Structure 1
Amino acid sequence: LSTIRHMESQVKRLDKEIERMMKGFTQTLTSVKGIGPVYAAGLLAEIGDIKRFDDHHALAKYAGLVWTQYQSGEFEAENTSRMRTGNKYLRYYLVQAADAVRKYDTEYKAFYQKKYQEVTKHQHKRALVLTARKLVRLVHSLLRTNQLYIPPERRD
């Protein structure tokens, strides 16, 4: 039990140190409610220079948030599997950030609910990964334009 408490205190110390170090960076990811300094630091560390990626499709492919295509002639399969390639650490940060963002942002919450209700098996995992793929577009856009995020309810 004392080992667990010690590890938890070390995690808190690391989180505070990451938060302190992130204050020195100019970035817009933390303007999204749900993406804190730890997720933002992880995303920035794994993405590196956003100019390496031409568009959000390239970033999604780098993260491994793309699906295989099965087609033959006019037939195109609806059920396809996610490719098992890509940066697993970036994928982890995107999925965890998507889980946090969906709790605060109405647009992401509605998207998650829609995807959750579409299937009967693996609902949460599937909806979460698809929400993470949607978040890739936002992350790419925020890092490219260097503008703060405005939630849908505050736009207009």
Structure 2
Amino acid sequence: MNHVSISAPDLDASIRFYTHVFGMERVPAPKFPDQIVAWLRLGDQQLHLFQREGAPQYHHFALDVDDFEAAYLKMRELEITDEATFLSGIRELPGGEAQMYLRDPGGNLVEVNWPDASSLDRSVVTDMVRLVDVVPQDAEGHAARLYTAGGNRATQERLGQG
């Protein structure tokens, strides 16, 4: 994937949010006739923010982070985790991955992923829920993997595949 583009009704607030919370870097962006845009980069990933009338809706997008525990603590400090959308704000998937959800200033749902929940310090990440304890999984659910061998370079290194 090259980038994800999301609506940012308050473009400046969204730029501050993504640069402060995720350490994204603003990169040059072209001007368009019907919208104001800002492009941000995090490693090999890009997030394109746009401000325009009649913005399309979507469900969520997901980001990898270099330090899940630091991101978790920042989300808790800012009180931006989304506890309602998926039964809990943070959970362990059947494949062993961790994910948490938050809302940005524009109300967009953002998923933050980590490849190995067992590597997280449970004295820091205190409220992770195991999905298998909430929803029984069939064989397909147990076989599901959020990360694949074809993932981005940083993810491959974390999984020992790079």
TM bucket, shorter chain: under 0.3
TM score, norm. by length of structure 2: 0.24
Higher relative contact order (CA 8 A, sep 6+): 1
- Rg bigger for which structure? 1
Name the structure where strand makes up a greater proportion of residues.
2
Name the structure where helix makes up a greater proportion of residues.
1
TM score, norm. by length of structure 1: 0.24
